[in-house]
Amino acid sequence: MKLVRYGARGAEKPGLIDAQGRLRDLSAHVRDIAGPVLADLSPLAALDPATLPLVEGNPRLGACVGNVGKFICIGLNYSDHAAESGMAVPPEPVIFAKYTSAICGPNDPILIPRGSEKTDWEVELGFVIGKTAKYVTEAEAMAHVAGYFVVNDVSERAYQTERSGQWSKGKSSDNFGPTGPWLVTADEVPEPNNLNMWLKVNGETMQSGSTATMVYQVPFLVSYLSQFFTLHPGDIISTGTPPGVGMGMKPPRYLKAGDVVELGIDGLGSQRQVCENDA
């Protein structure tokens, strides 16, 4: 299934994309695409999409997961991205938080923070927990994943690396977490560790890679994270980015108002954002 949330920000409704690519409403069946629903997707899987109301027009798409509890990110998870960042591949995954107030729809604008000169892009594979995970093994891990989606891990590099402290303040500005367009359920993504991914700025390809080159792949990440804290249904994890970010270019290149960012992952859809200066 391809599950979506659509409508005005803060008032999104649950929906489903049918085999013809049409949006259908799920409001009669679930309140939201969020933790309790993700813990048991079988009632939605049993529905005949043809019986669901069609949604007319082209409504705004919200983030494909609602009421997110934790937004966990993995840093330097592609060896070639680590190299372009001037950093070594870590002996264990780098974990940082992206605060949930950064989450927005896949086509909402990127808001460049006041005074920012180094706002950057990162196409990433995201996944959402569907079954509570605590001290799980790698062999058990995939049973705890509900589905996958595209994330743009928008980053302000000066805030992240030049102003001391943890990375989160450079990762969590408003609209720094475009998520979606769809949540593709795990049964439709048999090889999450072998997906092509891409990102363009103003039509120019900046990133072109594959999840196959991740250092730490999805089963390991679920198991690893669950050793430190419990993962709950609705928690989302963003798994890192391939090379081609603005920080790694010579000279570095960053986003400015009016730039258009497009990105996608095979089978998971695409996003499009126009950059704006934040008020």
Structure confidence at residue 268 (pLDDT): 98
Q: Please, are residues 122 and 152 in contact by the beta-carbon 8 Å criterion?
A: yes
50: pLDDT strictly greater than 80: yes
CATH superfamily for domain 62-277:
Fumarylacetoacetase-like, C-terminal domain (3.90.850.10)
How many helices and strands (H and E) does the chain possess? 6, 18
The two structure tokens encoding residue 58:
């082209």
- What is the pLDDT at residue 206? 97
User: What average pLDDT score do residues 211-218 get?
Assistant: 94
**HEC string for 151-217:** EECCEEHHHHHHCCCCHHHHCCCCCCEEECCCEEEHHHCCCCCCCEEEEEECCEEEEEEEHHHECCC
Q: Where are the domains of the chain?
A: 62-277
**DSSP 8-state secondary structure symbol assigned to residue 231:** B
pLDDT tens digits for 51-88? 999 999 999 999 999 999 999 999 989 877 777 777 77
pLDDT at position 185 = 98
Alpha-carbon distances, residue 144 vs 69, 98, 134 (angstroms): 16, 21, 10
Q: Annotate 120-132 with b (16+ C-beta within 10 A) or e (fewer).
A: bbbbbbbbbbbbe
Model pLDDT, residue 4: 98
- Alpha-carbon gap, residue 177 to 73, rounded angstroms: 11
Three-class SS of residue 80? helix
The share of the chain scoring above pLDDT 70, in percent, equals: 100
For range 35-49, the mean pLDDT: 97
User: What values do phi and psi take at 153, rounded to 5?
Assistant: -85, 75
Identify the bridge partners of residue 243 per DSSP, sorted by sequence position.
none
pTM for the whole structure: 0.96
Residue 188 corresponds to which amino acid? E
223 Cα distance to chain centroid: 19
Q: What is the pLDDT of residue 166?
A: 82
For 91-150, write each residue's pLDDT tens digit.
999 999 999 999 999 999 999 999 999 999 999 999 999 999 999 999 999 999 999 999
Average pLDDT score over residue span 241-263: 96
- Among the listed residues 12, 57, 52, the one whose alpha carbon sits nearest the alpha carbon of residue 31: 12
229, pLDDT greater than 80 = yes
Confidence of residue 213 (pLDDT cuts 50, 70, 90): very high
Residue 53 pLDDT: 98
pLDDT tens digits, 153-206: 999 999 998 888 788 999 999 999 999 999 999 999 999 999 999 999 999 999
What's the pLDDT score for residue 82?
Answer: 72
pLDDT at position 241 over 90: yes
84 burial via Cβ count (<10 Å: 0-12, 13-18, 19+): middle
